[in-house]
Structure 1
Amino acid sequence: MNDKAPGDPSGAAGPGGRAVGAERLRELPTRLLSLAAVHSDRRVNEELARVDARKWHYAVLATLEEFGPASQAELSARTGIYRSDMVGVLNELAGRGLVERAPDPADRRRNVVTPTRSGRRHLLRLDSLLAAVEDEVLAPLTSAQRAQLTRLLAKLVDHHGRQGDRSM
Protein backbone atom coordinates (compact mmCIF):
# COMPACT_ATOMS: atom_id res chain seq x y z
CA MET A 1 0.00 0.00 0.00
CA ASN A 2 1.02 3.64 0.11
CA ASP A 3 0.97 6.36 2.74
CA LYS A 4 -1.81 8.68 1.56
CA ALA A 5 -3.82 10.59 4.12
CA PRO A 6 -6.65 8.85 5.96
CA GLY A 7 -9.95 9.32 4.25
CA ASP A 8 -8.32 9.63 0.83
CA PRO A 9 -10.91 8.26 -1.62
CA SER A 10 -8.21 6.80 -3.85
CA GLY A 11 -8.07 3.56 -1.90
CA ALA A 12 -4.91 4.53 -0.01
CA ALA A 13 -3.86 3.30 3.39
CA GLY A 14 -5.66 4.81 6.35
CA PRO A 15 -5.03 4.49 10.08
CA GLY A 16 -3.21 1.29 10.90
CA GLY A 17 -2.39 0.73 7.23
CA ARG A 18 -5.94 -0.37 6.37
CA ALA A 19 -7.24 0.39 2.88
CA VAL A 20 -9.95 3.04 3.01
CA GLY A 21 -11.28 2.31 -0.48
CA ALA A 22 -11.89 -0.68 -2.68
CA GLU A 23 -8.78 -2.09 -4.35
CA ARG A 24 -10.63 -2.17 -7.67
CA LEU A 25 -10.80 1.63 -7.49
CA ARG A 26 -6.99 1.77 -7.39
CA GLU A 27 -6.88 -0.35 -10.53
CA LEU A 28 -8.99 2.00 -12.68
CA PRO A 29 -6.57 4.24 -14.60
CA THR A 30 -9.34 6.62 -15.62
CA ARG A 31 -10.32 7.15 -11.99
CA LEU A 32 -6.73 7.63 -10.89
CA LEU A 33 -6.14 10.06 -13.75
CA SER A 34 -9.23 11.98 -12.72
CA LEU A 35 -8.20 12.17 -9.05
CA ALA A 36 -4.68 13.31 -9.97
CA ALA A 37 -6.09 15.89 -12.41
CA VAL A 38 -8.47 17.30 -9.81
CA HIS A 39 -5.63 17.74 -7.33
CA SER A 40 -3.30 19.25 -9.93
CA ASP A 41 -5.97 21.61 -11.25
CA ARG A 42 -6.81 22.79 -7.73
CA ARG A 43 -3.17 23.53 -6.90
CA VAL A 44 -2.58 25.35 -10.21
CA ASN A 45 -5.69 27.48 -9.70
CA GLU A 46 -4.74 28.28 -6.10
CA GLU A 47 -1.24 29.40 -6.98
CA LEU A 48 -2.31 31.41 -10.02
CA ALA A 49 -4.97 33.13 -7.91
CA ARG A 50 -2.27 34.21 -5.43
CA VAL A 51 -0.76 36.35 -8.22
CA ASP A 52 -4.15 37.41 -9.64
CA ALA A 53 -3.81 35.22 -12.73
CA ARG A 54 -5.80 32.45 -14.36
CA LYS A 55 -4.94 29.47 -16.53
CA TRP A 56 -6.35 31.21 -19.57
CA HIS A 57 -3.99 34.15 -19.02
CA TYR A 58 -1.08 31.75 -19.05
CA ALA A 59 -2.36 29.92 -22.14
CA VAL A 60 -2.67 33.15 -24.14
CA LEU A 61 0.69 34.56 -23.07
CA ALA A 62 2.51 31.26 -23.67
CA THR A 63 0.88 30.89 -27.09
CA LEU A 64 1.82 34.43 -28.10
CA GLU A 65 5.38 33.83 -26.91
CA GLU A 66 5.69 30.65 -28.94
CA PHE A 67 3.85 31.63 -32.14
CA GLY A 68 4.11 35.42 -32.14
CA PRO A 69 1.33 37.96 -32.66
CA ALA A 70 -2.01 36.42 -33.55
CA SER A 71 -5.64 37.26 -34.18
CA GLN A 72 -8.25 36.48 -31.55
CA ALA A 73 -9.51 33.62 -33.74
CA GLU A 74 -6.00 32.15 -34.05
CA LEU A 75 -5.51 32.39 -30.29
CA SER A 76 -8.84 30.68 -29.72
CA ALA A 77 -7.89 27.83 -32.05
CA ARG A 78 -4.40 27.41 -30.59
CA THR A 79 -5.40 27.56 -26.92
CA GLY A 80 -8.77 25.82 -27.03
CA ILE A 81 -10.41 28.84 -25.38
CA TYR A 82 -13.85 29.53 -26.85
CA ARG A 83 -13.95 32.66 -29.00
CA SER A 84 -16.65 34.18 -26.80
CA ASP A 85 -14.42 33.69 -23.73
CA MET A 86 -11.30 34.90 -25.53
CA VAL A 87 -12.64 38.46 -25.70
CA GLY A 88 -12.91 38.62 -21.91
CA VAL A 89 -9.48 37.07 -21.39
CA LEU A 90 -7.91 39.58 -23.77
CA ASN A 91 -9.78 42.45 -22.11
CA GLU A 92 -8.29 41.38 -18.75
CA LEU A 93 -4.78 41.02 -20.17
CA ALA A 94 -4.97 44.32 -22.07
CA GLY A 95 -6.36 46.08 -18.99
CA ARG A 96 -3.27 44.94 -17.07
CA GLY A 97 -0.94 46.07 -19.83
CA LEU A 98 0.13 42.51 -20.65
CA VAL A 99 -1.04 42.46 -24.28
CA GLU A 100 -1.85 45.02 -26.94
CA ARG A 101 -4.48 44.76 -29.65
CA ALA A 102 -4.04 46.64 -32.92
CA PRO A 103 -5.77 46.48 -36.30
CA ASP A 104 -4.24 43.91 -38.63
CA PRO A 105 -2.56 45.78 -41.50
CA ALA A 106 -3.59 42.95 -43.88
CA ASP A 107 -7.24 42.97 -42.74
CA ARG A 108 -8.48 46.00 -40.81
CA ARG A 109 -11.58 44.08 -39.68
CA ARG A 110 -9.58 42.00 -37.24
CA ASN A 111 -7.17 42.74 -34.43
CA VAL A 112 -3.71 41.31 -33.90
CA VAL A 113 -2.74 40.58 -30.30
CA THR A 114 0.87 41.10 -29.22
CA PRO A 115 2.44 40.58 -25.80
CA THR A 116 3.94 43.64 -24.16
CA ARG A 117 7.29 43.68 -22.38
CA SER A 118 5.32 43.46 -19.11
CA GLY A 119 3.39 40.52 -20.54
CA ARG A 120 6.61 38.65 -21.34
CA ARG A 121 7.96 39.32 -17.82
CA HIS A 122 4.63 38.18 -16.33
CA LEU A 123 4.82 34.98 -18.39
CA LEU A 124 8.27 34.23 -16.94
CA ARG A 125 6.90 34.69 -13.41
CA LEU A 126 4.00 32.36 -14.22
CA ASP A 127 6.43 29.82 -15.70
CA SER A 128 8.32 29.79 -12.38
CA LEU A 129 5.14 29.54 -10.34
CA LEU A 130 3.81 26.64 -12.43
CA ALA A 131 7.17 24.85 -12.28
CA ALA A 132 6.97 24.99 -8.48
CA VAL A 133 3.42 23.59 -8.53
CA GLU A 134 4.56 20.86 -10.91
CA ASP A 135 7.41 19.94 -8.56
CA GLU A 136 4.93 19.71 -5.69
CA VAL A 137 2.31 17.69 -7.56
CA LEU A 138 4.82 15.33 -9.16
CA ALA A 139 7.11 15.06 -6.10
CA PRO A 140 6.85 11.26 -5.77
CA LEU A 141 8.09 10.75 -9.35
CA THR A 142 11.66 10.66 -10.60
CA SER A 143 12.63 12.89 -13.50
CA ALA A 144 12.48 9.86 -15.83
CA GLN A 145 8.99 9.01 -14.57
CA ARG A 146 7.90 12.64 -15.03
CA ALA A 147 9.15 12.59 -18.62
CA GLN A 148 7.35 9.30 -19.25
CA LEU A 149 4.14 10.63 -17.69
CA THR A 150 4.34 13.73 -19.88
CA ARG A 151 4.78 11.60 -23.01
CA LEU A 152 1.86 9.34 -22.07
CA LEU A 153 -0.45 12.24 -21.22
CA ALA A 154 0.47 14.02 -24.47
CA LYS A 155 -0.32 10.82 -26.36
CA LEU A 156 -3.77 10.66 -24.74
CA VAL A 157 -4.48 14.33 -25.38
CA ASP A 158 -3.33 14.05 -29.01
CA HIS A 159 -5.43 10.93 -29.54
CA HIS A 160 -8.57 12.60 -28.24
CA GLY A 161 -7.95 15.71 -30.31
CA ARG A 162 -7.87 18.14 -27.38
CA GLN A 163 -11.65 18.34 -27.67
CA GLY A 164 -12.12 18.80 -23.96
CA ASP A 165 -9.25 21.26 -23.44
CA ARG A 166 -10.83 24.55 -22.41
CA SER A 167 -8.75 25.33 -19.37
CA MET A 168 -5.11 25.85 -20.18
Structure 2
Amino acid sequence: MSQKTDTPTKPAKAAYQLDQQVGFLLRRVQQRHLAIFFRHIPDMTSTQFAALAKLCELGSVSQNELGRRVAMDVATIKGVVDRLRAGGYAKTEKDPQDQRRLLVRPTTAGRRAFQKYSSAALDVTAETLDPLSPKEADKLLSLLSKLT
Protein backbone atom coordinates (compact mmCIF):
# COMPACT_ATOMS: atom_id res chain seq x y z
CA MET A 1 0.00 0.00 0.00
CA SER A 2 1.46 3.38 -0.93
CA GLN A 3 1.14 6.52 1.09
CA LYS A 4 0.79 10.00 -0.30
CA THR A 5 3.12 12.58 1.12
CA ASP A 6 2.00 16.10 1.75
CA THR A 7 5.16 17.81 0.59
CA PRO A 8 4.52 21.27 -0.72
CA THR A 9 5.51 21.85 -4.29
CA LYS A 10 7.60 24.83 -5.24
CA PRO A 11 5.77 27.44 -7.25
CA ALA A 12 6.90 27.56 -10.85
CA LYS A 13 9.43 30.27 -11.60
CA ALA A 14 8.12 33.11 -13.67
CA ALA A 15 9.53 33.44 -17.15
CA TYR A 16 12.51 35.76 -17.43
CA GLN A 17 11.45 39.22 -18.53
CA LEU A 18 14.27 41.71 -18.90
CA ASP A 19 12.21 44.76 -18.01
CA GLN A 20 11.41 43.23 -14.62
CA GLN A 21 15.02 42.51 -13.62
CA VAL A 22 16.59 44.62 -10.88
CA GLY A 23 19.91 45.05 -12.68
CA PHE A 24 18.24 46.23 -15.86
CA LEU A 25 16.03 48.70 -13.99
CA LEU A 26 18.95 50.02 -11.93
CA ARG A 27 20.98 50.53 -15.12
CA ARG A 28 18.12 52.46 -16.74
CA VAL A 29 17.75 54.67 -13.66
CA GLN A 30 21.54 55.19 -13.64
CA GLN A 31 21.50 56.19 -17.32
CA ARG A 32 18.73 58.71 -16.63
CA HIS A 33 20.55 60.03 -13.57
CA LEU A 34 23.82 60.45 -15.51
CA ALA A 35 22.06 62.38 -18.28
CA ILE A 36 20.57 64.71 -15.66
CA PHE A 37 23.95 65.00 -13.92
CA PHE A 38 25.73 65.97 -17.13
CA ARG A 39 23.15 68.69 -17.88
CA HIS A 40 23.76 70.24 -14.45
CA ILE A 41 27.49 69.54 -14.06
CA PRO A 42 29.12 69.25 -17.48
CA ASP A 43 32.71 69.75 -16.28
CA MET A 44 33.17 66.39 -14.55
CA THR A 45 31.68 62.94 -14.28
CA SER A 46 29.52 61.82 -11.39
CA THR A 47 32.33 59.55 -10.16
CA GLN A 48 34.78 62.46 -10.23
CA PHE A 49 32.30 64.64 -8.35
CA ALA A 50 31.73 61.90 -5.75
CA ALA A 51 35.48 61.56 -5.17
CA LEU A 52 35.91 65.33 -5.00
CA ALA A 53 33.02 65.65 -2.52
CA LYS A 54 34.58 62.99 -0.28
CA LEU A 55 38.02 64.63 -0.59
CA CYS A 56 36.57 67.97 0.47
CA GLU A 57 34.96 66.23 3.45
CA LEU A 58 38.08 64.31 4.51
CA GLY A 59 40.93 66.57 3.43
CA SER A 60 44.07 64.52 2.84
CA VAL A 61 43.46 60.78 2.52
CA SER A 62 45.21 57.82 0.89
CA GLN A 63 44.07 57.02 -2.62
CA ASN A 64 43.03 53.51 -1.54
CA GLU A 65 41.03 54.85 1.41
CA LEU A 66 39.32 57.35 -0.88
CA GLY A 67 38.39 54.48 -3.18
CA ARG A 68 36.88 52.54 -0.28
CA ARG A 69 34.94 55.60 0.90
CA VAL A 70 33.35 56.16 -2.52
CA ALA A 71 32.92 52.46 -3.39
CA MET A 72 35.41 52.37 -6.27
CA ASP A 73 37.95 49.66 -6.94
CA VAL A 74 41.68 50.40 -7.06
CA ALA A 75 41.87 50.82 -10.85
CA THR A 76 38.78 53.06 -11.01
CA ILE A 77 39.85 55.39 -8.21
CA LYS A 78 43.31 55.70 -9.76
CA GLY A 79 41.76 56.88 -13.03
CA VAL A 80 39.39 59.23 -11.23
CA VAL A 81 42.22 60.75 -9.17
CA ASP A 82 44.35 61.11 -12.31
CA ARG A 83 41.53 63.05 -14.00
CA LEU A 84 40.94 65.21 -10.92
CA ARG A 85 44.67 66.01 -10.88
CA ALA A 86 44.65 66.80 -14.61
CA GLY A 87 41.72 69.17 -14.04
CA GLY A 88 43.55 70.90 -11.18
CA TYR A 89 40.98 69.70 -8.61
CA ALA A 90 43.29 67.41 -6.60
CA LYS A 91 46.94 67.03 -5.71
CA THR A 92 48.80 63.85 -4.81
CA GLU A 93 51.97 63.24 -2.84
CA LYS A 94 53.76 60.34 -1.22
CA ASP A 95 52.81 59.75 2.40
CA PRO A 96 55.82 60.91 4.47
CA GLN A 97 55.04 58.14 7.00
CA ASP A 98 54.80 55.40 4.34
CA GLN A 99 56.29 56.08 0.91
CA ARG A 100 54.21 53.25 -0.61
CA ARG A 101 50.99 55.17 0.03
CA LEU A 102 49.76 57.97 -2.19
CA LEU A 103 47.93 60.78 -0.40
CA VAL A 104 45.28 62.78 -2.23
CA ARG A 105 43.91 66.15 -1.20
CA PRO A 106 41.66 68.72 -2.84
CA THR A 107 43.26 71.85 -4.25
CA THR A 108 41.81 75.31 -3.76
CA ALA A 109 40.32 74.98 -7.26
CA GLY A 110 38.86 71.61 -6.24
CA ARG A 111 37.21 73.09 -3.15
CA ARG A 112 35.83 75.94 -5.27
CA ALA A 113 34.46 73.50 -7.85
CA PHE A 114 32.82 71.46 -5.10
CA GLN A 115 31.21 74.59 -3.63
CA LYS A 116 30.13 75.72 -7.09
CA TYR A 117 28.49 72.37 -7.95
CA SER A 118 27.11 71.26 -4.56
CA SER A 119 23.78 72.97 -5.12
CA ALA A 120 23.59 71.59 -8.66
CA ALA A 121 24.29 68.09 -7.30
CA LEU A 122 21.31 68.45 -4.96
CA ASP A 123 19.24 69.54 -7.97
CA VAL A 124 20.39 66.41 -9.83
CA THR A 125 19.11 64.22 -7.00
CA ALA A 126 15.81 66.12 -6.86
CA GLU A 127 15.31 65.85 -10.62
CA THR A 128 16.22 62.16 -10.63
CA LEU A 129 13.62 61.51 -7.92
CA ASP A 130 11.05 63.93 -9.37
CA PRO A 131 8.68 61.23 -10.71
CA LEU A 132 8.24 59.98 -7.13
CA SER A 133 6.30 61.47 -4.25
CA PRO A 134 8.46 62.59 -1.30
CA LYS A 135 7.39 59.49 0.60
CA GLU A 136 8.27 57.23 -2.35
CA ALA A 137 11.63 58.97 -2.77
CA ASP A 138 12.47 58.43 0.92
CA LYS A 139 11.44 54.78 0.64
CA LEU A 140 13.52 54.26 -2.52
CA LEU A 141 16.62 55.77 -0.89
CA SER A 142 16.06 53.63 2.19
CA LEU A 143 15.69 50.45 0.12
CA LEU A 144 18.74 51.25 -2.01
CA SER A 145 20.79 51.85 1.15
CA LYS A 146 19.66 48.47 2.42
CA LEU A 147 20.95 46.80 -0.75
CA THR A 148 24.46 48.28 -0.47
Q: TM-score, normalised by structure 1?
A: 0.64
Matched, 1:117 2:108: yes
Gaps of 5+ in 2: 1-16
2:6 corresponds to: none
- RMSD, aligned CA: 2.5
- 2:31 corresponds to 1:38: yes
Judged with a 3 Å threshold, the aligned counterparts in structure 2 of structure 1 residues 67 and 143 are, in CA distance, closer, same or farther, namely same
Count of residues in Structure 1 that have an aligned counterpart in Structure 2: 130
Q: Is the Cα contact below 8 Å between 2:34 and 2:46 reproduced in 1?
A: no
Q: Kindly tell me: are residues 145 and 113 of structure 1, through their superposed partners in 2, closer, same or farther at Cα, counting changes over 3 Å?
A: same
CA distance, structure 1, for counterparts of residue 75 and residue 91 of structure 2: 18
Shift of 1:42: 3.0
Q: Post-superposition shift, 1:96?
A: 2.2
How far apart are the structure 2 equivalents of 1:88 and 1:46?
Answer: 23
Shift of 1:111: 2.0
Taking structure 2 as the reference length, what is the TM-score of the superposition? 0.71
Give the counterpart letter for 2:46 in structure 1.
K
Larger radius of gyration: 2
Distance 1:102 1:76 in 2: 16
**Deviations, residues 57-109 of structure 1 (Å, cap 9, x unaligned):** 11211222233321111122222323223233222212222111122121123
For residues 46 and 66 of structure 1, the distance between their equivalents in structure 2, rounded to whole angstroms, comes to 25
Aligned residue for 2:69? Answer: 78
Partners of 1:101 and 1:35 in 2: CA distance: 35
Give every structure 1 segment of 4 or more consecutive aligned residues whose post-TM-superposition deviation is greater than 6 Å.
Answer: none
Counterpart-to-counterpart distance in 1, 2:94 and 2:25: 46
The 1:120/1:154 distance shift into structure 2, 3 A limit, reads same
CA distance, structure 2, for counterparts of residue 93 and residue 77 of structure 1: 17
Alignment of 1:9-158 (within 5 A): 28=20, 30=22, 32-48=25-41, 50=42, 52-157=43-148
Sequence identity (%)? 31
Residues 122 and 110 of structure 1, relative CA distance in 2, 3 Å threshold: same
